[in-house]
Structure 1
Amino acid sequence: MFAEGTYFYIQDVVEADVSSIAWLPTIGIAVFVFMHNLGIVTLPYVLLGELFPANIKGIAVSLGTIYGSSLAFIVSKFFKPLANAWGEYTVFWIFGSVCVMGIIFVLLVLPETKGKSFAEIQAVLRKKSISEDVESKLACLAGN
């Protein structure tokens, strides 16, 4: 996405000849689609399968699908108006930034579930939840 944005920046703002890198938008989108299907599209379903108990898994998957489809609709609906207002390069840089934030979220927030049973995963999630509750209560007490 950053390469895509840079291409359009060079083309639209710098107004340089981009004929030597005219292949970049096609390759950039192809790489994005490939990586998108390899990771971020499948990740929510893997997480839903590992983090939620069977009695709410159907609801969780349904809500996750609705949420993902809603975001896809918003991106599709507002791409052209934002590209017209801010330039295509800005929109692609925003997309790239969202991808980086997603990577940071996955690395820092999501628990590692490899080789763990469902009970172990739930125990890790409970510990995080309990520690966050204690921290928020302590913060409230300190503020009063």
Structure 2
Amino acid sequence: MSLALACFGSFAYYEDVHPKIVPNLDWIPLLCVLVFTVAFTLGISPISWLLVTELFSLEQRGLGTALATAFSYLCAFIGVKTFVDFQELFGLYGAFWLYAFISVCGLCFVVCCVPETKGRDLTEIDAYR
């Protein structure tokens, strides 16, 4: 997802700087949107819903899932709501680069802070908590 956002931002930048070169590359935004959609659909979207059920104990799972869902939709709302403001502030390419940077920060958070649950049963995961 980060790569697709950064690529789209780079395309928008080159469109601003070198508008004569870009008409030959008009397929790049479509490719970026497709890559982003596929990456989201096959990656972060289903994995986050599966991970929530593994990270919370049975007693806390209902509340934890509700809070995680609310936070997910809040982040989506903020992303949609702030895009136009960021576009006016940084330009189209700057907005996409900012969202790519935020996506990389999210990846770093997941790598550093989310425990690995592959190959563990629920009792081992409960012991880790």
Indicate the TM-score class for this superposition, using the shorter chain for normalisation: 0.7 to 0.9
> What are the Cα deviations for residues 3-49 of structure 1, in whole angstroms up to 9, with x where unaligned?
10000001113444301111111110111011011111122211211
Match for residue 17 of structure 1? 21
CA distance in 1, matches of 2:40, 2:104: 13
Q: Is the 8 A contact 1:51 1:121 kept in 2?
A: yes
Q: Which of 1, 7, 11 is equivalent to 1:7? A: 11
CA distance in 2, matches of 1:6, 1:12: 10
Q: Which of 57, 62, 66 is equivalent to 1:62? A: 66
Q: Percent identity?
A: 32
> What are the Cα deviations for residues 83-128 of structure 1, in whole angstroms up to 9, with x where unaligned?
0221010111111112222222222222111121222112223xxx
Q: Is the 8 A contact 1:10 1:16 kept in 2?
A: no
Gaps of 5+ in 1: 126-144
1:99-110 → structure 2 map (5 Å cutoff): 99-110=103-114
CA distance in 1, matches of 2:112, 2:85: 33
Q: CA RMSD in A?
A: 1.5
TM-score (norm 1): 0.79
Decide which structure has the larger Cα Rg and report it. 1
1:43 aligns with 2:47: yes
Gaps of 5+ in 2: none
Greater relative contact order, per chain length (Cα 8 Å cut-off, separation 6+): 2
